[in-house]
């Protein structure tokens, strides 16, 4: 359905690739930092991973990227330091490696997972890693919609 709508409007689909920047306006830097490969066994690792920087604040959106993608991001030398980490793959145990979490060093993490989902997301191991790192976790399965805003210096949560 979405590809049909894109085609009907005469638009073209561009594949997300690491190193691509997206213009969103003055003072906002948006960079795709994954995928870093074009051949994955697990489709989750094709997820576009986006770092958005506004002023002195940064957000890292992991999509469904798993540890393989995280390792490639780190090996590619991208600056992943961010105030907010949208945790990969709904907080699955296949994402948010300790090495990656240490590199990001977020103050906040958002985990998007459905309430009482059949996959038991987020997994206890991921929550434990975030807790040990002193990260404040917000979960959609517990809180519903989470809105974070930045004025370029401070982040607020609703």
Instruction: Give pLDDT, residue 13.
Output: 85
pLDDT value for 2: 84
**pTM, rounded to two decimals:** 0.91
Which stretches of the chain drop beneath a pLDDT of 70? none
Which pLDDT tens digit goes with each residue over 37-51?
A: 989 999 999 999 999
Q: Give pLDDT, residue 23.
A: 85
E strand segments, 3-157: 21-23, 28-34, 49-54, 57-61, 84-86, 108-111, 136-139, 148-150, 155-157
């Amino acid at each position: 359905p979405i590809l049909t709508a894109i085609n009907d409007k005469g638009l073209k689909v561009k594949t997300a690739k690491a190193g691509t920047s997206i213009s969103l306006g003055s003072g906002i830097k948006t960079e795709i930092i994954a995928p870093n490969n074009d051949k994955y066994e697990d489709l989750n690792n094709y997820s576009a991973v986006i770092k958005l920087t506004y002023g002195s604040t940064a957000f890292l959106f992991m999509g469904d990227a798993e540890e393989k993608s995280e390792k490639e991001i780190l090996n590619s030398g991208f600056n992943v330091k961010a105030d907010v980490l949208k945790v990969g793959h709904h907080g699955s145990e296949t994402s948010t490696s300790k090495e990656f979490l240490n590199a990001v060093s977020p103050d906040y993490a958002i985990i998007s997972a459905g309430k009482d989902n059949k996959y038991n997301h987020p997994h206890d191991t991921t929550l434990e890693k975030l807790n040990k790192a002193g990260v404040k976790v917000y979960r959609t399965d517990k809180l519903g919609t989470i809105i974070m805003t930045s004025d370029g210096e401070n982040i607020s949560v609703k």
